[in-house]
Structure 1
Amino acid sequence: MNQILYKNRCRCNEEFSIAKKRKSVTRSEGKPIQYPKSNEILSKTFQIKYEKKLSLIAKLVLNSFQNKYIYYAIDDILYLFDLKKTERENLLAILYSPILSLQNDYCVNFFDIWVQEIYIDEVSKTNKFLSADSQTSKQFSYITIKLFYKTRVPVTKQESLW
């Protein structure tokens, strides 16, 4: 009886050893996206003046983007955090404007951008001509975003045969 079980077990092991997993190609195939090598990356810093007051949730969301791939940051805003519609649109606008600048100025692909650092500096501006105890101060924020990006050689278009 033990020999029959042993033979069946050995045959199963042989079948599994035949069907090996193929080696992965250059694409990530579901693996997390990794930072590019240090000799490939460039960085650019953007400073955005945000006229409205940032909520506590918006600050936490922005601070969670440190060292994150830009696609994942946008995905977090859209689906992970419970934000109001206007606040969600404002946070997306804060991220989209530097991305569009990189794409237009440096021909950077959307999938080659990472967020390195985000700093939020809140400033309140008071009116000098009114009394100091009045609540007429304007509050706005400076959001500083430092992005990593990788540039690639543009693909040349093949000439048509006719």
Structure 2
Amino acid sequence: MVKKTPRKSSSGPKSGKRGFVYPDFELTATKSKTFQIKYKKKLSTVAKLILSSFHNKYIYYAIDDILYSFQLNSTERENLLAILYSPILSLQNSFSINFFDIWVHEIYVNEVPKINRFLKNDSLNLEQFSYITIKFYYRTKLPPKKRDSLW
């Protein structure tokens, strides 16, 4: 009697296939674009940690991290998504870049206190806003050639 062994799936985690691979930028034709966004509210520590985790991350995963973070309140979640969506839409509209060809290379948060110069005691009336600098890498593709008609 011959014993049959079950087939191994080639799409498992040990097969070496990964969904979205961060590209090797020396080998591929990629470009970069830097955006600076002024965020007028104070960022929570959770939001800062989430933003700092975006270094060298595929944009799809960055959005996923924001959407499924249970420690963010809904207002802050929407604001962080708007911070990412705005430059992505700019890249898509300006350069016709596919959503799946964008990576976050670097992200920096610079908090700046807004000082009221007319009051003597500045420590009580400090408002804070942040500059968020995001550097995206993106890959451009040639548009498909239009085929000549047969007649």
CA contact (8 A) 1:77 1:92 kept: yes
Match of 1:63 in 2: 52
How much has 1:128 moved relative to structure 2?
1.1
Q: Which amino acid aligns with 2:105?
A: Q
Query: Given the alignment of the two structures, is residue 117 of structure 1 paired with residue 128 of structure 2, yes or no?
Result: no
Question: CA 1:150–1:129 in structure 2 vs 1: closer, same or farther (change >3 Å)?
Answer: same
Counterpart of 1:44 in 2: which secondary structure?
strand
Tell me which residue corresponds to 1:26.
Answer: none
User: 1:139/1:152 Cα in 2 relative to 1: closer, same or farther (>3 Å)?
Assistant: same
The answer to whether 1:153 aligns with 2:142 is: yes
Does the alignment pair 1:82 with 2:71?
Answer: yes
DSSP 3-state at the match of 1:32: coil
Judging by fraction of residues, say which structure has more helix: 1
Identity %: 61
Q: Which runs of 4+ in 1 moved over 4 A?
A: 19-23, 156-162
1:35 equivalent in alignment to 2:25: no
Q: Look up the match of 1:91.
A: 80
Larger Rg: 1
TM-score by length of 2: 0.82
Matched, 1:48 2:37: yes
Deviation larger for 32-41 or 134-143:
32-41
TM-score of the two chains, using structure 1 as the length reference? 0.77
2:68 is paired with a residue whose SS is helix
Structure 1 contact 36–150 (Cα < 8 Å) conserved: no
- Per the alignment, do residues 66 and 81 of structure 1 end up closer, same or farther by CA in structure 2, a change over 3 Å counting? farther
Instruction: Return closer, same or farther for 1:128/1:83 CA change in 2, 3 Å cut-off.
Output: same
Q: Which structure 2 segments of 5+ residues have no match?
A: 12-16
Aligned residues: 145
Partner of 2:14: none
